[in-house]
């Protein structure tokens, strides 16, 4: 290596290599639901043999993209943290769509559900995430003038809803996250995660199956219309 070569180059190349595989990319995208999956669940999701999954997962753990925890016979994997989730979602947002329609009705339904609403690690994305972001902005609770920032009214609103905004570490209170289906930024950071937890805990939003897709319940539609003026039609 030449003395003036940037040492970041080899590390960046190694990181890119980790994600330059369809199976490893599928694992990372699945784990953006913010939950821990077993190695077997990930193998079935990616439709690969357990031995193949184990090899790929070992590389992702060694590369710092995933963390693992063993409980008895099971090996649980999860995204290593918000920064990794942000990286994967940003890369997905910049990946050009193929333009090919889904090949089966099941695939078409899954694609529609993800576009309507999904978790992006620990916050909400898709049309639901964007609707929340736009509503907060329209009501003067969130400013997008120079990046994302909660206004004083926004801080009051979160407090009034009983949504805590405890900050730990250096994670920002709010930040934009580019949505790979809507191609616009949605709310992430501490506030985005807290809002997601609140909607799920209140039963206003529920997960669909074992993946990332979520949907707003009837109670959720009423609550979001009352609190943020969101048209229920946008959420369906």
Tens digit of pLDDT for each residue in 130-150? 999 999 999 999 999 988 999
Predicted confidence band at 168 (pLDDT cuts at 50, 70, 90)?
confident
* Cα angle: 129, vertex 138, 187; to 5 degrees: 30
Residue 29's closest CA among 234, 185, 213?
A: 213
Tell me phi and psi for residue 34, to 5 degrees: 85, 0
Cα separation, 53 vs 116, in Å, equals 29
Same domain, 26 and 128: no
The DSSP string of 33-51 is GSS-EEHHHHHHHHT--HH
Q: Is residue 2 part of a domain?
A: no
Q: What is the pLDDT of residues 178-215, one digit of tens each?
A: 888 888 999 999 999 999 999 999 999 999 976 789 99
Average pLDDT over the chain, rounded to an integer: 88
Q: Is residue 157 part of a domain?
A: yes
Q: Is residue 26 part of a domain?
A: yes
Domain count, the chain: 2
Same domain, 126 and 186: yes
Q: What is the DSSP letter of 72?
A: T
Cα separation, 173 vs 155, in Å, equals 10
Cβ atoms of 230 and 224 closer than 8 Å: yes
Residue 214's closest CA among 80, 110, 77?
A: 110
Q: Which pLDDT value is given to residue 101?
A: 56
The sign one gets for the Cα dihedral 118, 123, 127, 128 is positive
Q: Is residue 158 part of a domain?
A: yes
Task: Report the 10 Å Cβ neighbour count for 233.
Answer: 7
Q: Which pLDDT value is given to residue 100?
A: 58
Q: What is the pLDDT of residues 33-92, one digit of tens each?
A: 888 999 999 999 999 999 999 999 999 999 999 999 988 888 899 999 888 988 888 888
Domain boundary residue, one of 17, 46, 80: 80
The CA distances from residue 133 to 10, 149, 174, 213, in Å, are: 37, 11, 11, 18
Cα separation, 220 vs 227, in Å, equals 10
């Amino acid at each position: 290596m030449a003395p003036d070569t940037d040492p970041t180059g080899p590390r960046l190349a190694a990181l890119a290599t980790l994600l330059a595989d369809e199976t490893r990319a599928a694992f990372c995208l699945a784990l953006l639901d913010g939950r821990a999956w077993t190695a077997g669940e990930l193998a079935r999701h990616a439709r690969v043999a357990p031995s193949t999954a184990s090899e790929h997962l070992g590389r992702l753990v060694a590369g710092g993209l995933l963390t693992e925890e063993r409980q008895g016979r099971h090996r649980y994997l999860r995204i290593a943290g918000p920064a990794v989730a942000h990286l994967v979602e940003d890369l997905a947002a910049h990946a050009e769509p193929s333009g090919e329609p889904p090949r089966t009705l099941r695939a078409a339904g899954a694609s529609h559900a993800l576009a309507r609403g999904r978790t992006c690690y620990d916050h909400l994305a898709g049309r639901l995430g964007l609707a929340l972001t736009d509503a907060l902005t329209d009501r003067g609770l969130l400013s997008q003038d120079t990046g994302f920032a909660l206004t004083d009214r926004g801080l009051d609103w979160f407090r009034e809803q009983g949504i805590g905004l405890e900050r730990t570490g250096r994670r920002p209170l709010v930040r934009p996250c580019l949505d790979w289906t809507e191609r616009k930024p949605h709310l992430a950071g501490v506030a985005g995660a807290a809002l997601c937890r609140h909607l799920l805990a209140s039963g206003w939003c529920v997960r669909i199956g074992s993946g990332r897709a979520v949907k707003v319940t009837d109670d959720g539609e009423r609550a979001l219309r009352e609190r943020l003026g969101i048209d229920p039609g946008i959420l369906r």
